[in-house]
């Protein structure tokens, strides 16, 4: 390893390129990696393609230097122009940072990061795949084109591995198994937030974008309110569809029962206030929000997904429902509310599975071992 790829203390330099820094799954995943091994073993730089907010302070507290390219993410014909700008600016920054390894996390980062890293003469490139791709045709084409420049792909399970091979044409030998790491202590004994009273109180945590299937929750709420008139639903998260969904609740007359809270910094306290957690989107991968709800000992109802089904069992760890049928979601919620024995079994079994599969220290150690850090980092 050349001296330019080492810090002044002799540690290797690692650059983590992400789409944006917020309270979403990618950011939380990276933050856990930093806190439980990465930042203590390497001089770590976190590069956000989008502008950053106050969440950047969390990454600095975890020992990483934060950089922002401050670039928009427009759709349509302008996306090609801004992708080119982002690639050039990323290359220039990586030349200045001289990292040993670049880790790409997020669809935008995976589309432009590998080429920028190679042009900056970075020795190793890795990418983390946490969920099925929902990228545009242009970004999918860019990601497939640049996939050959990635040395190692880190995936969460067999479904993620199959998706990476099928969508990007990646050779299976380049794929490594990682996982979602959770700081379980973060979710223990949280004081519940003061939310509007509900019986039951349902919660959702997701990014407010069109493909998150929130309308099926509205449809199910209309059914459930006939039998549970005191029910409340609180949706946490930010995104471009938030205002549209707020208007939709008003149009349907649900605004007194369904609340959009926006981004929530105190997620453990929010989860502690819930009676039930709902994940309506079937393409969220091994959803971090689902895992966090299980860690907080909240029963989960989730859209049927092969990614979740790899780890969690229907009727034992959670209840799956058909995401195309609001009645299926309403029935699953009603069962958990009306059957205390089922609720207790789901909570106990899911928590045990999360402890077994997603405890931070072993998962982070396995992740760092799976990435091309093994010859330069001792975990």
pLDDT tens digits for range 106-119: 988 988 899 999 99
Give the mean model confidence (pLDDT) for residues 232-255. 92
Residue 379 falls inside a structural domain: no
Question: Among residues 23, 3, 22, which one has the least CA distance to residue 12?
Answer: 3
Is the domain of 250 the same as that of 272?
yes
Question: Among residues 91, 89, 11, which one has the least CA distance to residue 44?
Answer: 11
* Structure confidence at residue 139 (pLDDT): 62
Element (H, E) at 24: none
**303: Cβ contacts below 8 Å, ≥ 6 apart:** 213, 279, 280, 281, 282, 320, 321, 322, 323
Residue 104 falls inside a structural domain: yes
* Structure confidence at residue 379 (pLDDT): 41
* Structure confidence at residue 24 (pLDDT): 79
- Domain harbouring 139, CATH code: 3.40.50.2000
Question: Among residues 116, 375, 54, 138, which one has the least CA distance to residue 127?
Answer: 116
User: Would the pLDDT of 212 be above 90?
Assistant: no
* Structure confidence at residue 335 (pLDDT): 97
Is the domain of 144 the same as that of 204?
no
**Is 216 in contact with 280 (CB distance < 8 Å)?**
yes
Element (H, E) at 124: strand 124-129
* Structure confidence at residue 134 (pLDDT): 63
Q: Which residues span the domain enclosing 143?
A: 3-181+359-370
For 190, counting Cβ atoms within 10 Å of its Cβ (0-12 exposed, 13-18 middle, 19+ buried), the class is: middle
The total number of structural domains that make up the chain: 2
* Structure confidence at residue 58 (pLDDT): 93
* Structure confidence at residue 76 (pLDDT): 58
Report the percent of the chain where pLDDT is more than 90.
Answer: 55
3-state secondary structure 78-123: HHHHHHHHHHHHHHHHHHHHCCCEEEEECHHHHHHHHHHHHHCCCC
Mean pLDDT of the chain: 88
Give the mean model confidence (pLDDT) for residues 363-370. 88
DSSP 15: E
Is the domain of 163 the same as that of 279?
no
* Structure confidence at residue 3 (pLDDT): 61
How many residues can be counted in the chain? Answer: 379
Is the domain of 164 the same as that of 45?
yes
Is the domain of 63 the same as that of 150?
yes
Top-confidence residue, 219 or 379: 219
Give the mean model confidence (pLDDT) for residues 355-359. 93
* Structure confidence at residue 355 (pLDDT): 94
> What is the per-residue pLDDT across 32-75, written as a single tens digit (0 to 9) for each?
999 999 998 899 999 999 998 888 999 999 999 999 998 877 66
Is the domain of 191 the same as that of 157?
no
* Structure confidence at residue 155 (pLDDT): 87
State the number of CA atoms in the 13 A half-sphere of 90 facing the CB. 33
Residue 230 falls inside a structural domain: yes
Is the domain of 248 the same as that of 127?
no
User: Would the pLDDT of 18 be above 80?
Assistant: yes
Give the mean model confidence (pLDDT) for residues 229-244. 91
* Structure confidence at residue 192 (pLDDT): 87
Residue 153 falls inside a structural domain: yes
Is the domain of 46 the same as that of 166?
yes
Residue 378 falls inside a structural domain: no
* Structure confidence at residue 166 (pLDDT): 85
Residue 376 falls inside a structural domain: no
For the chain, first and last CA: distance in Å? 18
Residue 377 falls inside a structural domain: no
Rounded CA-CA distance 312/165 in Å is 23
Residue 66 falls inside a structural domain: yes
pLDDT band at 342 (very low <50, low <70, confident <90, very high): very high
Give the mean model confidence (pLDDT) for residues 306-321. 93
Is the domain of 35 the same as that of 130?
yes
DSSP 225: T
pLDDT band at 371 (very low <50, low <70, confident <90, very high): confident
Is the domain of 68 the same as that of 214?
no
User: Would the pLDDT of 1 be above 80?
Assistant: no
* Structure confidence at residue 136 (pLDDT): 62
Sequence-ordered alpha helix ranges (H) in the chain: 25-33, 39-41, 56-61, 78-97, 107-119, 137-146, 158-168, 214-224, 242-252, 267-272, 288-295, 306-309, 326-338, 340-358, 360-370
Top-confidence residue, 86 or 336: 336
Is the domain of 154 the same as that of 192?
no
Is the domain of 161 the same as that of 239?
no
User: Would the pLDDT of 83 be above 90?
Assistant: no
Top-confidence residue, 139 or 173: 173
User: Would the pLDDT of 327 be above 90?
Assistant: yes
pLDDT band at 304 (very low <50, low <70, confident <90, very high): very high
């Amino acid at each position: 390893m050349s001296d330019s790829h080492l810090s002044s203390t002799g540690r290797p330099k690692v650059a983590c390129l992400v789409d944006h820094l917020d309270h979403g799954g990618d950011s939380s995943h990276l933050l856990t990696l930093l806190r439980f091994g990465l930042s203590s073993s390497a001089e770590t730089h976190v590069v956000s393609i989008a502008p950053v907010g106050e969440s950047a302070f969390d990454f600095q507290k975890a020992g990483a230097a934060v950089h922002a390219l401050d670039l928009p993410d427009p759709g349509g014909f302008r996306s090609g122009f801004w992708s080119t700008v982002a690639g050039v600016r990323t290359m220039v920054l990586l030349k200045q940072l001289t990292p040993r390894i670049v880790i790409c996390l997020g669809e935008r980062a995976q589309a432009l990061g590998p080429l920028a890293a190679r042009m900056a003469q970075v020795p190793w490139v890795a990418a983390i795949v946490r969920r099925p791709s929902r990228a545009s045709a242009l970004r999918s084409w860019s990601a497939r084109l640049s996939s050959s420049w990635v040395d190692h792909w880190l995936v969460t399970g067999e479904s993620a591995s199959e998706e990476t091979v099928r969508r990007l044409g990646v050779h299976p030998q380049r794929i490594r198994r990682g996982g979602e790491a959770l700081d379980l202590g973060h979710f223990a004994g949280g004081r519940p937030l003061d939310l509007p009273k509900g019986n039951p109180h349902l919660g959702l945590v997701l990014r407010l974008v069109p493909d998150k299937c929130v309308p099926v929750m509205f449809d199910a709420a209309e059914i459930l309110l006939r039998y549970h008139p005191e029910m409340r639903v609180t949706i946490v998260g930010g995104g471009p569809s938030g205002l549209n969904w707020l208007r939709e609740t008003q149009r349907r007359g649900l605004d007194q029962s369904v609340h959009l809270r926006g981004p929530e910094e105190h997620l453990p306290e929010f989860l502690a206030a819930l009676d039930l957690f709902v994940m309506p989107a079937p393409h969220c991968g091994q959803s971090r929000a689902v895992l966090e709800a299980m860690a907080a000992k909240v029963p989960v109802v989730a859209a049927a997904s092969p990614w979740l089904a790899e780890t969690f069992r229907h009727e034992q760890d959670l209840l799956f429902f058909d995401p195309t049928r609001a009645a299926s979601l309403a029935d699953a919620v009603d069962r958990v509310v009306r059957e205390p024995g089922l609720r207790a079994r789901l909570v106990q079994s899911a928590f045990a599975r999360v402890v077994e599969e997603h405890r931070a220290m072993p998962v982070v150690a396995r992740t760092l071992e799976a990435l091309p850090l093994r010859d330069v980092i001792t975990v």
